[in-house]
């Protein structure tokens, strides 16, 4: 590991922020070009991709095609998937799987040595490649972390977060970094004309999430404050089957369990999804999440029942989920698992083109912090890891194919010299507000209340961490308030139908979100209800 204090303030390296799948894969693809990799947590930790249980979607089985994969992606995307992007990603799946195999990822194989494939919700074929059933994310991140540590051209800097993006005349000039978890530390500035943000998602902005604490929207916030265009921030996917055993983040019961025949029941033992969709438990995630939410809201509770489908085979087939259940005193072979929807994946993010370029020159974004148009309003299961590796490779190719100007001289003054410790009460209120008003089911009054609250917090926060969280929360809530319809994962109780004229992606900025907040601050509060966590 390189010590940050051994760095000069200027580097000719490509700087990648984020130690998850997109960041690690991009760094490896750039070799032997010098790369500085900034990671808040030690490599292999703190990344949502390490927790992914499903696997990677890829049309590698006999009889399957990229065209069929793209068609499934488009079908669940709520009418706003960029079809060319979806097809391009599906066509690049097989080469990226072979890259991962070359980096040492031990994908499951069948008895004849071919890649074993499973099926997940809304896929028309078995096309999910796994590692030991439900351990794909952890195995991929472990293999890539080891490959990165063995690559001389990559210098990892662990334990630092990017708290500001430096720009001049619409182009990136560098980053301001600070030691993670130490707001009193003096920030460090690093100059670079080529920055890749791969900082992950926003799940930890919600009170109930499957994401690690690092997934707090910081990358999205610093890009937005630098003026980057943000796409589709209102579309947040809630995984319908987080295991509710009092842990934060909540353990995940992978969708593959339902693919193997597990069913959803309420506290009365009734299988409730049959009334919501012909595919029942294998319906698109947004529909399943709302079905689960409705049972909980009605006081009946919701449970994942694998007793008949798996029974004694549960531990062998799904060891990660089994371990989470056993640790909480639940034997999934003989007991139904209590579940609830949890913030899981952000379809929105920094708007990027087909090469991963943002609207700011010299800034690329990959993985969950970006929005490519591939997912539309609702992500298809196991497409996120695929998108991450496809765009990481494209970003590396794009950077390799263009000259990077010499770094500019950094400003003498820091963007922010001081930062207070994160106010836990403010963080708790923000997360409660997001779950209550910007969650599975939304309405205009609640969204307006959230917008006003987040705008005030963004303005008043003395903690950089809290300000970043409030910035991203404001972008999500303002866009959700503006979209007066229901589409994909965005469901509004006061506008339950989709509006054909609104079948288009959102492109917005932080300035626009603040303008929404200003317009709402001039209106009287419609009600005084306090946010409640379902």
Q: Which residues contact 459 (CB under 8 A, 6 or more apart)?
A: none
Cα(293)–Cα(436) distance, integer angstroms: 12
The yes-or-no answer on residue 285 being catalytic is yes
Cα(193)–Cα(338) distance, integer angstroms: 49
Cα(369)–Cα(372) distance, integer angstroms: 10
The CA–CA distances, whole Å, from 524 to 415, 436, 455 equal: 35, 20, 16
Contact (Cβ atoms closer than 8 angstroms) between residue 117 and residue 61? yes
Cα(282)–Cα(265) distance, integer angstroms: 14
Dihedral (Cα; 66, 68, 69, 70), 10-degree rounding: 90
56: which 2 tokens? 């990677």
430: which 2 tokens? 């923000």
Task: Name the catalytic one among 96, 155, 178, 285.
Answer: 285
The CA–CA distances, whole Å, from 180 to 4, 154, 465, 473 equal: 12, 21, 10, 21
Backbone φ and ψ for 231, nearest 5 degrees, come out as -110, 135
Q: Where are the alpha helices (DSSP H) in 401-488?
A: 424-437, 444-460, 464-482
Nearest 5°: the CA angle 245, 442, 504 is: 120
The three state secondary structure string of 48-85 is HHHHCCCCEECCCCCCCCHHHHHHHHHHHCCCCCCHHH
The CA–CA distances, whole Å, from 528 to 98, 445, 452, 503 equal: 55, 10, 13, 33
Cα torsion angle, 15, 20, 24, 25, sign: negative
Cα(98)–Cα(105) distance, integer angstroms: 9
Contact (Cβ atoms closer than 8 angstroms) between residue 430 and residue 205? yes
186: which 2 tokens? 């003096």
Per DSSP, the three-state class of 431 is helix
Nearest to 232 by CA among 88, 71, 423, 373: 373
Contact (Cβ atoms closer than 8 angstroms) between residue 243 and residue 250? yes
Contact (Cβ atoms closer than 8 angstroms) between residue 475 and residue 510? yes
Cα(252)–Cα(266) distance, integer angstroms: 18
Cα(18)–Cα(141) distance, integer angstroms: 12
Q: What is the DSSP string of 335-375?
A: SPEEEEEEEEEES-EEE--TT-B-SSBTEEE-GGGEE-SSS
* Catalytic residue IDs: 285
């Amino acid at each position: 590991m390189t010590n940050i204090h051994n760095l000069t303030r200027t580097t000719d390296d490509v700087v990648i922020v984020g130690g998850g799948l997109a960041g690690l894969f991009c760094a490896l693809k750039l070799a032997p070009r010098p790369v500085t990799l900034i990671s808040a947590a030690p490599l292999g930790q703190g990344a949502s991709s390490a927790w992914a249980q499903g696997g990677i979607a890829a049309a590698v089985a006999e009889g399957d095609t990229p065209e069929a994969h793209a068609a499934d992606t488009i079908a669940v995307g709520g009418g706003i998937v960029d079809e060319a992007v979806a097809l391009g990603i599906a066509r690049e799946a097989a080469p990226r799987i072979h890259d991962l195999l070359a980096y040492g990822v031990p994908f499951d194989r069948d008895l004849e040595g071919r890649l074993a494939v499973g099926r997940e919700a809304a896929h028309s074929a078995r096309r999910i490649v796994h590692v030991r059933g439900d351990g794909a994310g952890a195995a991929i991140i472990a293999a890539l972390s080891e490959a990165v540590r063995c690559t001389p051209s990559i210098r990892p800097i662990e334990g630092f977060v990017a708290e500001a993006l430096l720009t001049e005349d619409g182009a990136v000039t560098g980053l301001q970094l600070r030691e993670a978890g130490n707001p009193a530390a003096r920030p460090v500035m690093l100059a670079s004309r080529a920055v890749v943000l791969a900082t992950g998602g926003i799940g930890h902005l919600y009170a109930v999430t499957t994401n690690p604490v690092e997934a707090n929207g910081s990358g999205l916030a610093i890009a937005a404050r630098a003026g980057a265009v943000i796409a589709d921030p209102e579309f947040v996917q809630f995984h319908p089957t987080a295991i509710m055993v009092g842990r934060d983040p909540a353990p995940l019961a992978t969708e593959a369990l339902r693919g193997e025949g597990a069913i959803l029941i309420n506290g009365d033992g009734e299988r409730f999804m049959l009334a919501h969709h012909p595919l029942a438990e294998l319906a698109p995630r947004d529909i399943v999440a709302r079905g689960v939410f409705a049972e909980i809201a009605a006081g009946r509770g919701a449970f994942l029942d694998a007793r008949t489908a798996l029974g004694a085979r549960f531990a062998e087939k799904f060891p990660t989920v089994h371990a989470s259940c056993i640790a909480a005193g639940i034997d999934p072979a003989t007991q139904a698992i209590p579940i609830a929807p949890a913030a899981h994946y952000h379809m929105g993010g920094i708007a990027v083109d087909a090469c991963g370029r943002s609207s700011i020159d010299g800034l690329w974004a990959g993985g969950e912090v970006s929005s490519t148009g591939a997912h539309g309003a609702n992500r298809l299961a196991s497409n996120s890891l695929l998108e991450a590796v496809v765009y990481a490779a494209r970003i590396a190719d794009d950077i390799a194919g263009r000259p990077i100007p010499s770094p500019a001289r950094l400003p003498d003054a820091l963007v922010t010299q001081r930062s207070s410790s994160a106010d836990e009460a403010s963080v708790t209120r923000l997360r409660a507000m997001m779950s209550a008003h910007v969650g599975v089911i939304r309405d205009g009054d609640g969204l307006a209340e959230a917008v006003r609250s987040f705008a005030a917090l963004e303005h008043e926060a003395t903690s950089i961490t809290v300000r970043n969280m409030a910035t991203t929360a404001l972008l999500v809530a303002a866009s959700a308030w503006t979209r007066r319809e229901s589409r994909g994962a965005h469901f509004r109780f006061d506008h339950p139908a989709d509006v054909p004229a609104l079948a288009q992606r959102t492109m917005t900025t932080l300035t626009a979100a603040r303008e929404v907040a200003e317009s709402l601050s001039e209106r009287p509060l419609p009600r005084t209800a306090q946010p409640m966590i379902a």
